[in-house]
Amino acid sequence: MNKPGLLLLPVLLFPCLPSLTASAIAQTCRVNCGRSENGHLMYKEVFEYDFVTEKPSYPGGDSKLIGFINSTRSYPAEAYRRGVQGRVTCAFIVNTDGSVSDVQVLKGVEPSLNREAVRILALMPHWQPGKINGRPVPVRVIRSVPFRK
């Protein structure tokens, strides 16, 4: 629920984005980006996928993305031998330049499959970045990588 005075806080957090509306800025999420050299947690404020005017897109569309995943995926031998299968759901950030960063497992299957899903998504080529009012913004995207025998 919007309360008077609360809409100013996001604008203060993003002084470099003056042309964006306060309601768009308020719909961000905070992503853990690891630890700094001195051990402090680092975070990045990104926009949620559903709240941008232009969603980020893989070059060539979803069918090319599926083709990339299928051609890049290397099923871990031990997991394949044991019959482990499933979908590893990951989140990653498509940055303003289209690069992919901060790949994280949201729902894993098995450690070796989780590592392989992160490896695949980290290798993706640059995407078309997401935009709000024509301006590129970092956007959090969620995708699954399937593993089937």
At 89-106, the pLDDT tens digits run: 999 999 999 999 989 999
At 47, is the pLDDT very low, low, confident or very high (cuts 50, 70, 90)? low
Beta strands in the chain, from DSSP E residues, in sequence order: 28-35, 41-48, 86-94, 100-107, 130-132, 135-137, 139-147
Chain centre distance of CA 148: 23
pLDDT of residue 41: 72
Task: Give the chain's mean pLDDT.
Answer: 80
Residues paired with 93 in a beta bridge:
101, 140
The yes/no answer on whether domain 17-147 falls in CATH 3.30.1150 is yes
Mean pLDDT of 102-127: 96
Instruction: Answer whether 13's CB lies under 8 Å from 45's CB.
Output: yes
Token match 């080529």: residue? 125
Residue 122's pLDDT is 97
Q: Is 98 helix (H, G, I), strand (E, B) or coil?
A: coil
Check pLDDT > 60 for residue 12.
no
pTM of the entire structure? Answer: 0.72
The Cα–Cα gap between 135 and 132 comes to: 5
d(CA 10, CA 57): 26
Contact status, residue 147 vs residue 74, Cβ threshold 8 Å:
no
Domain ranges of the chain: 17-147
